[in-house]
Amino acid sequence: MNNRVKVVAIGGGTGLSVLLRGLKKYPLDITAVVTVADDGGSSGKIRSDMNIPSPGDVRNVIAALSDVEPYLEKMFQYRFDSGEVKGHPVGNLMLAAMTDIHGNFSTAVQIMSKILNVSGTVLPTTNEMATLNAVLKTGEIIRGESSITKAGGEIDNVYITPSKVKANVDVIKAIENCDYIVMGPGSLYTSIIPNLMISGVSEAIVNSSAKKCMFVML
């Protein structure tokens, strides 16, 4: 693995998962850096109820990089359609349970990656809670990633609250030591930029000698 080309893929949503399903077919040392700013659906409810980073995008990336029996991956991605757990994928609940057991979201991701035999490394950008906010051209402020997606309108800029959110230290190390950095594909404002606003991430990318490429959907 030490002789393989090291690729850091940064993003969220479904775009990053699709990219990773392709990249894992090649002899690469892959690290996926995943946003935890999603606050909609199951992820939003778990985030609110348990005060942990959103698990949804991380779950999709684990599934994309997993190398297990199809039935196990299907169970991990299965979403309940009735009862009190309606709308929750099994994987989100497993990540939430592991976080509760070990007291750390990154540890939960690491353990679930082993269970699902992930080809590479999956890293949440931060272990802290971060809320994405958008300022529209009209001056209106939209709070929450899911609300931004629904609101439409032309975005002037985005920011996170709280303003200082620490990056996962392994994210910075991966960026500093990789050969390629791939950002996207995905929404510029809700999948890619949320990662770059975490303290230290954009600086590490700028200072990295890795070759960089970016795919965005505007």
CA distances to 39, 178, 182 from 18, rounded to whole Å, are 21, 21, 13
Per-residue pLDDT band at 26 (split at 50, 70, 90): very high
Phi, psi angle pair for 86, to nearest 5°: -55, 130
95, 106 Cβ separation under 8 angstroms = no
- Identify whether 145 is part of a domain: no
**Domain total of the chain:** 1
| Rounded Cα–Cα distance for residues 148 and 187 (Å) | 11
Does 218 have pLDDT greater than 70?
Answer: no
Q: How confident is the model at residue 184 (pLDDT cuts 50, 70, 90)?
A: confident
CB under 8 Å, gap of 24 or more: what pairs does 44-50 form? 44/144, 44/146, 45/87, 45/88, 46/88, 46/92, 46/93, 46/96, 47/129, 50/96, 50/99, 50/100
Strands (E), the chain: 5-11, 28-34, 121-124, 131-136, 141-143, 155-161, 180-183, 211-214
Q: How many CB atoms lie within 10 A of CB 162?
A: 9
Q: Per the domain annotation, does 60 fall within a domain?
A: yes
Do the domain assignments include residue 70?
A: yes
Tell me, yes or no, whether 131 lies in a domain. no
Q: Which domain holds residue 40?
A: 5-126+169-214
Q: Which of the pair, 146 or 112, is modelled with greater confidence?
A: 112
In a domain, 148, yes or no: no
Pair of tokens at residue 194: 């949320």
* pLDDT of 203 over the 80 cut: yes
pLDDT tops 60 at residue 59: yes
Query: Listing from the earlier edge strand, what are the strands of the sheet with 131-136?
Result: 141-143, 131-136, 155-161
In the chain, % of residues over pLDDT 90: 78
Whether 139 maps to a domain, the answer reads no
Residue 7 to residue 4: CA distance in whole angstroms: 9
Residues in the chain: 218
Which of the four pLDDT bands, split at 50, 70 and 90, describes residue 100? Answer: very high
Residue 30 lies in a domain: yes
Mean pLDDT of 17-33: 95
In this model, does residue 32 exceed pLDDT 90?
yes
| C-alpha separations of 130 from 54, 155, 179 in Å | 9, 19, 28
Q: What is the pLDDT of residue 217?
A: 61
Are residues 120 and 74 in contact, defined by beta-carbon separation less than 8 angstroms? no
Whether residue 47 is predicted with pLDDT greater than 80 in this model: the reply is yes
CA atoms in the 13 A half-sphere facing the CB of 182: 19
pLDDT value for 57: 94
CATH of the domain at 50: 3.40.50.10680
Does 112 fall in a domain? yes
